[in-house]
Amino acid sequence: MIHFSKASNQNVEDELAHQKTLSSGTYNLDSVIGQLDLDFRRKCYICEDKVKSIRIEHFRPQCLGINEKFDWFNIFNACEHCNAIKSDDFKQLMDCTKDFPEQHISYEIEPLNPLGKQIILTQLEGSNLHVDTINLLNSVYKGTNKRKKIQAEVIVEDILNELNYFEDLVKDYLLEPDADDLDDIKYEVNNASKFTAFKRWLIKNNTEYSGVITPLFIN
Ligand SMILES: [Zn+2]
């Protein structure tokens, strides 16, 4: 989970305000979906995969009331897997449009763990992270039932592939700096790429990489 800037969009906010006054009003609007796609860089804000099956996600559950349901700043972009796991079960979450989650949680992956590929998320010392954030991320990356575990394994496999590609790119660049590789690395560590938090932590955890690559992080 990384930071996304959510744009103020008067047209979208006006349309939602109008829908709120209707007895069968909906937030499921083309304008909402289009702006979410731009703001969240076509990604799920929870797992950070590119969204193949879009779900309009209410950060604070819409069951809390009509204001939550139609508040543009409460509407996020998620995938079907994460939207279903979050449901109304995780209420104490860090808001990634206001804060920088990857500065509060370290991300690591153990591909050779005897129990299977493991994602290790750790709250950083002194962080005021809301408690449910790591619980939600663990549920998303581990799965909560048989079907969700299989979906989670596919996501973790994809994370490993992305990290392997990214680390090879960084090694090549450090061995022989090249403008094309630099452009590719800049893309990979910025928020439009898949699983950006994992890539940034791969850099932060390696002193050989961090001095050169960390300055390329832009939110
Ligand atoms: Zn997701």
pTM for the model: 0.93
Three-state secondary structure of 144-205: CCHHHHHHHHHHHHHHHHHHHHHHHHHHHHHHCCCHHHHHHHHHHCCCCCCCHHHHHHHHHC
Domain annotation covers residue 3: no
- Residue 153 CA to ligand 1 centre (angstroms): 13
| pLDDT on residue 179 | 93
Structure tokens given for 189 = 């560590």
Residues of the chain with pLDDT under 50: none
Q: Which domain holds residue 113?
A: 101-216
- 51 and 131 inside one domain: no
Domain annotation covers residue 114: yes
- 39 and 146 inside one domain: no
- 145 and 117 inside one domain: yes
- Residue 150 CA to ligand 1 centre (angstroms): 14
| pLDDT tens per residue across span 183-193 | 999 999 999 99
Residue that terminates a domain, selected from 86, 120, 142: 86
- Residue 118 CA to ligand 1 centre (angstroms): 17
**Total residues found in the chain within this entry:** 219
| pLDDT on residue 136 | 96
Residue that terminates a domain, selected from 40, 56, 86: 86
- Residue 81 CA to ligand 1 centre (angstroms): 6
Q: Which residues in 146-165 are b (16+ Cβ under 10 Å) and which e?
A: eebeebbeebbeebbebbee
- 206 and 167 inside one domain: yes
